[in-house]
Amino acid sequence: MEQRKGQRLVLFPFPFQGHINPIIQLGNILHSKGFSITIICTNFNSPNPSNYPDFDFHFINENLSEDEKCNPNIVALIQLINVRCAQPLRDCLAELLSNVSKEPIACLISDFACHFTQAVADELKLKRIVMRTGGATSSSAYAAFPLLREKGYLPLQDSQLEKLVVELAPLRVKDLPLHDSCAPDEYYQLVDDMVNMTRTSSGFILNSFEDLEQPALATLRQEFGIPVFPIGPFHKRFPASLSSLLTQDQSCISWLDKQGPRSVVYVSFGSLTAVYEMELLEIAWGLTNSKQPFLWVVRPGSTINSDWLEAMPKGFLEALDERGCIVMWAPQQEVLAHPAIGAFWTHNGWNSTLESICEGVPMICMPFFMDQRVNARYVTEVWGVGVQLEKRERGMIERVIKGVMMEEEGEEIRGRALILKEKATQCLHEGGSSYQSLDSLVSHISSP
Residues that bind ligand UDX (CB under 6 A): 16-19, 21, 133-134, 240, 244, 248, 268, 270-272, 297, 329-330, 332-333, 349-352, 355, 371-372
Task: Give the Cβ contact number of residue 318 at 10 Å.
Answer: 8
Residue 264 CA: distances (Å) to CA of 257, 321, 402: 11, 14, 11
Strand order, beta sheet including 324-327? 324-327, 294-297, 264-268, 341-346, 363-365, 386-388
Nearer to ligand UDX, 242 or 406 (CB): 242
Nearer to ligand UDX, 13 or 432 (CB): 13
Least Å distance, CB 3 to ligand UDX, is 31
Least Å distance, CB 391 to ligand UDX, is 21
Least Å distance, CB 388 to ligand UDX, is 16
* Nearest of 178, 130, 186, 177 to residue 14 by alpha carbon: 130
Rounded CA Rg of the chain: 22
**Cα separation of 138 and 128, whole Å?**
21
Least Å distance, CB 248 to ligand UDX, is 6
Nearer to ligand UDX, 17 or 79 (CB): 17
Nearer to ligand UDX, 16 or 145 (CB): 16
- Which H/E stretch holds residue 387? strand 386-388
Least Å distance, CB 300 to ligand UDX, is 12
Residues 6+ apart with CB under 8 A from 221: 228
Least Å distance, CB 448 to ligand UDX, is 31
Name residue 39's beta-bridge partners: 11, 57
Backbone angles phi, psi at 111, to 5 degrees: -70, 145
Nearer to ligand UDX, 371 or 398 (CB): 371
Nearer to ligand UDX, 181 or 443 (CB): 181
